[in-house]
A and B are shown apart, each in its own frame.
Chain A
């Protein structure tokens, strides 16, 4: 599939996206047949499938993905978060799943608002989610319900704030000498 977007005019060459994987719809179809509400949105981009799942159904949908004979996503390879501040819901939590027997990848996504960033932990489904979710908790401040050991992992335990949020300055918060005020250096290039 060749897709010519606005950027091609800007750069003067074609942007080639990979064709969508053949198995892309299998995950969405299987989840829909289990619960029609489980799939809020399916995003196909650069040959990667993203399934947006409502927050309440995340753990059940993940369990489906792991144990269903047609899916068999047995390896949770990565969990990470994107902060789209100031857009609401600002957090996008992404779980990257791999099926070793089926040689397939999929991404489960949950959108979370900044006022109530709580979601069910996937530790009961994949124990490997333990440190992945601790990292997201540490750096983004998202709380995982049902996580057995939700502590900071990379930063010291008395650290204030969650540095990977977009409203946290890259240089960190610093004291302005002799004023007691905080200042934030411009992040404009």
Chain B
């Protein structure tokens, strides 16, 4: 059992156990709160209720088998997890991904960012008492999941991004579907803003709540919208561009207030920027072209080749039995997930299974700033602060 040391030593404080089943902890987060009246004196997060040992499991899988595990970490951003893992393996192998596959990846990851922000906005609003926003957000998220289903046959755990490219060719009719979504979405984002941005209750619950200074945010390794709401422009898509992001024209929204309201504005603005990126990516994706790189022995051969060529059949057999062995070495790749810098570190010892796979999960690292956000605040603000960090417990505990 975790115990809280009394900070004041006085007898009037009480310890309140919040979670792990509390609905507004967005999963199974437990926080021990020491309260003086309604003021939080000390907060100690307690994690690990969803620890599934994904990093250990990856060590017992071949490189391509481990992709399906990465989906399950951050279940609101499975494509981002696929992308960072695949990019790390590609870096180890020195593989070049065809431009067309890179644009498809960018489009999918940006759609995923919108859907993740929609879930965040909906759940954050419902925590603070705005029920209708939740219903609207999930309505639009459904449209994105339908696009994923069209592309990958799966709504959430798509495993669509694979080593060397993506799994399938874009299906017939995808342009119309994405186009319809892009037409509809800007006015829907306006609707959320109409409901919340100037809403007195929303402002009262979020403005000035959960302040953290930019220096503290950097010192505590925070990344993502929480850091950008503090005025620090750090976005991996701009600073260390990957997957051809340097060819896209978009802004990185920042604020300087660094409270829950500023983080809300940053995320809503990010949704609009993501729509811009999706539109540009759609224009860049040609109607036909390769979706995977050519690398015999690593990328599974096409079905037709497998039926006609002996080598292709042998490679197919070897990939799915033994796997492939990247040269010994380490690779660290970081992307911008909806929650911040999502990193993947892979160490290879030259065998078909990774020696070590580590994920730098933004939720986990951002969460350690939670005590800083809520100490000295009212207990009702704890919920606003948990929501504003945008944690996914599957990723926190891994």
A positions within 8 Å CB-CB of B: 5-7, 10-17, 45-46, 48, 50, 74-78, 80-84, 92, 94, 96, 100, 103, 105, 107, 126-132, 135, 139, 151-157, 163-164, 166, 170, 187, 189
B55 in contact (CB, < 8 A)? yes
The number of chain B residues touching the other chain, given as a range, is 35 or more
A153 contacts B295, CB within 8 Å?
no
B347 in contact (CB, < 8 A)? yes
State the total of A-B contacts with C-beta under 8 angstroms: 129
With A and B bound together, what is the CA distance between A156 and B1 in angstroms?
Answer: 9
B132 in contact (CB, < 8 A)? no
Of the candidates B51, B329, B341, B356, which one forms a contact with A46 in the assembled complex, judged by CB atoms under 8 Å apart?
A: B329
Which residues of B sit under 8 angstroms from A16, Cβ to Cβ? 94, 96
Residue of A nearest to B361 (CB): A78
B53 contacts A128, CB within 8 Å?
no
A107 contacts B240, CB within 8 Å?
no
Which residues of B sit under 8 angstroms from A103, Cβ to Cβ? 239-240
The CB with the most chain B CB atoms within 10 A, among A6, A45, A81, A128, is that of: A128
Q: List 27 A-B contacts (CB under 8 A).
A: A5-B327, A12-B296, A13-B294, A13-B296, A15-B327, A17-B94, A45-B329, A46-B91, A48-B331, A75-B218, A75-B234, A78-B343, A78-B345, A80-B356, A81-B356, A82-B330, A94-B330, A100-B218, A100-B232, A100-B234, A105-B332, A127-B220, A131-B367, A154-B397, A157-B1, A170-B60, A189-B353
Nearest CB of chain B from residue A51's CB, rounded to whole Å? 13
Q: Besides the contacts A16-B94, A154-B398, what 20 more A-B pairs have beta carbons closer than 8 Å?
A: A6-B327, A13-B296, A15-B93, A45-B329, A46-B331, A48-B332, A50-B330, A74-B218, A76-B221, A77-B343, A78-B332, A100-B218, A100-B232, A103-B239, A126-B219, A126-B221, A128-B219, A130-B368, A154-B397, A155-B48
Nearest CB of chain A from residue B309's CB, rounded to whole Å? 13
With A and B bound together, what is the CA distance between A118 and B191 in angstroms?
Answer: 55
B positions within 8 Å CB-CB of A: 1-2, 47-48, 51, 53, 55-57, 59-60, 91-94, 96, 218-223, 232, 234, 239-240, 294-298, 322, 324-327, 329-332, 334, 341, 343, 345, 347, 349, 352-353, 355-356, 358, 360, 364-365, 367-368, 397-398
